[in-house]
Homo-oligomer: A and B are copies of this chain.
Amino acid sequence: MAARAATLTDVAKEAGVSLATASRALNGSERVVRAELHDRTLAAAARLGYTPNAQAQSMAKGSTDLVGLLVNDIADPYFSTIAAGLATAAEEHGLLVMLCSTGGRPERELELLAALRRQRGRAIVLAGSRINDRAHLRELAAHVEPFTAAGGRVAAISEPRLPVDTVVVDNRRGAQDLAARLAELGYRRPAVLTGPERLLVSRDRRDGFLAGWRRSASGEPVCAAEEFSRDGGSRAMQRVLDEHPDVDVVFAINDLMALGAMAACRERGVRVPQDVAVAGFDDISTLRDVTPGLTTVRLPLAEMGRMALDLVLGEDAEKARRRKVRGEVVLRESTPGR
Residue numbers of A with Cβ under 8 A of B are 1-6, 48-59, 62, 64, 73-75, 77, 80-81, 83-84, 87-88, 91, 96-101, 103, 108, 114-115, 117-120, 145-147, 149-152, 230, 256, 259-260, 262-263, 266, 284-287, 289-291, 302, 316
A115 to B91, CA, bound (A): 12
Which of B81, B99, B117, B266 contacts A99, CB < 8 Å?
Answer: B99
Q: How far, in Å, is A90 (CB) from chain B's closest CB?
A: 10
Chain B contacts of A263 at CB under 8 A? 289
17 new A-B pairs (CB below 8 Å) besides A6-B146, A51-B114? A1-B316, A3-B149, A3-B150, A5-B152, A49-B149, A53-B118, A54-B119, A54-B120, A55-B64, A75-B81, A75-B285, A83-B101, A96-B100, A98-B99, A256-B286, A263-B289, A266-B291
| Most chain B C-beta atoms within 10 Å of own C-beta, residue among A6, A84, A285 | A84
Q: Establish whether residues B77 and A286, one from each chain, have CB atoms under 8 Å apart when the complex forms.
A: yes
With known contacts A53-B118, A101-B87, A259–B289 Cβ distance under 8 A: yes
Chain B contacts of A286 at CB under 8 A? 77, 230, 256, 259, 284, 286-287
Q: Establish whether residues B289 and A150, one from each chain, have CB atoms under 8 Å apart when the complex forms.
A: no
Residue of B nearest to A51 (CB): B117
With known contacts A1-B149, A149-B1, A290-B291, A118–B84 Cβ distance under 8 A: no
Q: Establish whether residues A2 and B151, one from each chain, have CB atoms under 8 Å apart when the complex forms.
A: yes
Q: How far, in Å, is A165 (CB) from chain B's closest CB?
A: 15
Residue of B nearest to A145 (CB): B49
Chain B contacts of A97 at CB under 8 A? 99-100
Chain B contacts of A147 at CB under 8 A? 5, 51
Q: How far, in Å, is A290 (CB) from chain B's closest CB?
A: 6
Chain B contacts of A291 at CB under 8 A? 266, 290-291
Residue of B nearest to A55 (CB): B55
Q: How far, in Å, is A252 (CB) from chain B's closest CB?
A: 13
A260 to B147, CA, bound (A): 45
Q: Establish whether residues A260 and B289, one from each chain, have CB atoms under 8 Å apart when the complex forms.
A: yes
A208 to B257, CA, bound (A): 36
Q: How far, in Å, is A84 (CB) from chain B's closest CB?
A: 4
Chain B contacts of A302 at CB under 8 A? 75
Chain B contacts of A120 at CB under 8 A? 5, 53-55
Chain B contacts of A62 at CB under 8 A? 4
Chain B contacts of A316 at CB under 8 A? 1
With known contacts A49-B145, A99-B97, A286-B230, A55–B119 Cβ distance under 8 A: yes
